[in-house]
Amino acid sequence: MKLINESSKTKIVNNILVAFLAIYGISQKRFDLSEPTLFHQLVTEVISPVQEGLSNSKKSLSSLWDNYLLIVNTSKENNVLKKQISRLESDLSTMEEVRKENLRLKRLLSYSDEMSHQRVMAQVVGWDSANEFKVIRLNKGRNHGIKTMAPVITDHGLVGYVYRVTDNYADVLTILDQNNRVDVMVERTRTHGIVEGVFNFKCALKYIMRNEPVEVGDKLITAGVGGIYPKGIKVGMITDITKENFGMTLSIEVIPSVDFDKLEEVLVLIPTEVAGVESLLPAVEKKI
Could you give the residue ranges of the DSSP H alpha helices within 139-254?
none
What's the rounded Cα separation, in Å, for the pair 205 and 241? 10
Torsion, Cα of 120, 123, 129, 134 (10° steps): 30
Q: What is the identity of the amino acid at 252?
A: I
What's the rounded Cα separation, in Å, for the pair 152 and 115? 13
Sequence-separated (6 or more) residues with CB below 8 Å from residue 143:
167, 168
What does the pLDDT profile of the chain (288 residues) look like in tens digits?
Answer: 444 466 666 667 666 765 655 665 555 555 455 566 766 666 666 676 766 666 667 777 777 777 777 787 787 778 877 777 877 776 676 676 666 666 665 666 665 555 667 889 899 998 876 666 689 999 999 999 999 999 999 989 999 999 999 999 999 999 999 889 999 999 999 999 999 998 888 999 999 998 999 999 999 999 988 888 999 999 999 999 998 777 788 999 999 999 998 888 899 998 765 433 333 333 333 333
Please give the sequence-ordered ranges of beta strands (E in DSSP) within the chain, or none if there are none: 117-127, 135-138, 151-154, 157-165, 170-174, 182-186, 192-197, 203-206, 219-222, 234-242, 251-256, 265-271
The DSSP H or E segment spanning 4 is helix 2-28
In the chain, DSSP finds a helix count (H) and a strand count (E) of: 3, 12
